[in-house]
Amino acid sequence: MAGELFIGLMSGTSLDGVDVALVEFNKSRVADTQQPHVLHTHFLAYPSALRSQILALQHPTDNELETTALMGNTLAQLYADAVNQLLTATKITPDKIVAIGCHGQTIRHRPQFKDGIGFTLQIGNPALLAELTGITVVADFRSRDIAAGGQGAPLVPAFHQALFASHQANRALVNIGGIANITYLASGTGDVFGFGSVAGFDSGPGNMLY
């Protein structure tokens, strides 16, 4: 394998479970037409009791600080199980993985709440996940955008821009996750990838309605 290997973890608003992807990234920039290659995927379902406990944490409860912290540990262990199952299936050792990208489970998302900044909270204890897998973990993807006055969601427009932006045509992409979102990619010049502007926004409930 000529590229670098990363693992992506996602447990979305639908609360059905953990999606894991093993992806190879060429060392050349994506903008130079080198696209990521998905080598393997895996899914680990949430137990129904865990799903109910996470749903309960989305509203104020008694002793919710302790409950949230312990739930973060539980999720880290589940994430680690999912990662290790994928590595076993692919016969790849942890030292071959550059990093795990772990979004965590969103518990509260209140951008621009009260003070105009608001907050967002995803749990999953990335430090524990790193210990359990022996792999570097990158997490807390939304907070920087919230701090800069953004909505912290959706996360996917930058990825869409890197893979699908065109010099010749405007493009719109719809992603139906737990919450559905839309990315609009304008053709032209002016950004780091040499294409036009990018915009993205959540459009409403998606798979969370099942």
Nearest to 137 by CA among 127, 152, 145: 127
pLDDT of residue 27: 63
Q: Which ranges of the chain does DSSP label H, i.e. alpha helix?
A: 48-57, 64-90, 126-133, 143-147, 157-164
Ranges of the chain with pLDDT below 50? 30-31, 33
pLDDT value, residue 195: 66
For residue 78, the model assigns a pLDDT of: 97
Query: At the topology level of CATH, where does 4-147 sit?
Result: Nucleotidyltransferase; domain 5 (3.30.420)
What are 47-98's pLDDT values in tens digits?
A: 999 999 999 998 888 889 999 999 999 999 999 999 999 999 999 999 999 9
Long-range Cβ contacts of 1-8 (<8 Å, 24+ apart)? 2/26, 2/27, 3/27, 3/37, 4/98, 5/39, 5/92, 5/96, 5/97, 5/98, 6/97, 6/98, 6/99, 6/100, 6/101, 7/83, 7/86, 7/97, 7/99, 7/100, 7/101, 7/135, 8/100, 8/101
pLDDT at 30: 47
Q: What pLDDT does residue 7 have?
A: 98
Task: Give the pLDDT confidence score for residue 188 in this predicted structure.
Answer: 72
Cis peptide bond prior to 60, omega within 30° of 0: no
Q: What is the pLDDT of residue 165?
A: 87
Q: What is the pTM of this model?
A: 0.84
CA distance 142 to 138: 12
Q: 7: which 2 tokens?
A: 């693992």
> Which pLDDT value is given to residue 153?
86
Domain extent listing, the chain = 4-147, 157-209
pLDDT tens digits, residue range 135-144? Answer: 999 999 999 9
pLDDT at 47: 94
Angstrom distances, CA of residue 180 to CA of 68, 90, 202? 26, 31, 6
